[in-house]
């Protein structure tokens, strides 16, 4: 959730508006972002049902790259627990969308 604070010069902020951001991101867009981010993954290789760790040769460096991708592209903070709980690309996507809509 983002908070918009309206303030005019010389005045204290007087209005806070909570804006809930909903995503129109599609799983295909997310898969494309993953394939672009990780050089070892051939375009078209990943599917929603793919176990993401195998084609990405998952390690701690790739986890950091993925966390940074989520932060910069989706404004979502993924934790190690979030990643550990996911098995498929769809699981990662669902967690990101859920966090985007919090």
Domain boundaries, the chain: 23-100
**CB of 97 closer than 8 Å to CB of 25:** yes
- pTM, to two decimals: 0.75
Rounded Cα distance between 9 and 30, Å, is 41
**CB of 60 closer than 8 Å to CB of 67:** no
Mean per-residue pLDDT, 70-86: 94
Please identify which residue in the block is written with the tokens 């204290």.
12
Q: Which of 54-58, 68-72, 83-87 has the lowest mean pLDDT?
A: 54-58
SS3 call for 2? strand
pLDDT digits (tens, 9 = 90+) for 15-66: 444 444 445 789 999 999 999 998 888 899 999 999 988 877 788 999 999 9
Looking at CATH, the fold of the domain delimited by 23-100 is given as 1.10.1200
């Amino acid at each position: 959730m983002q908070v918009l604070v309206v303030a005019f010069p010389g005045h204290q902020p007087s209005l806070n508006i909570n804006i809930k951001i909903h995503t129109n991101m599609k799983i295909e867009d997310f898969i494309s972002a993953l394939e672009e981010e990780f050089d070892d993954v051939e375009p078209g290789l990943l599917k929603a049902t793919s176990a993401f760790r195998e084609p990405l040769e998952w390690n701690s460096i790739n986890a950091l790259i993925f966390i940074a991708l989520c932060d910069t592209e989706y404004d979502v903070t993924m934790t190690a627990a979030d990643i550990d709980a996911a098995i498929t690309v769809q699981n990662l996507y669902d967690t990101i969308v859920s966090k985007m809509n919090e």
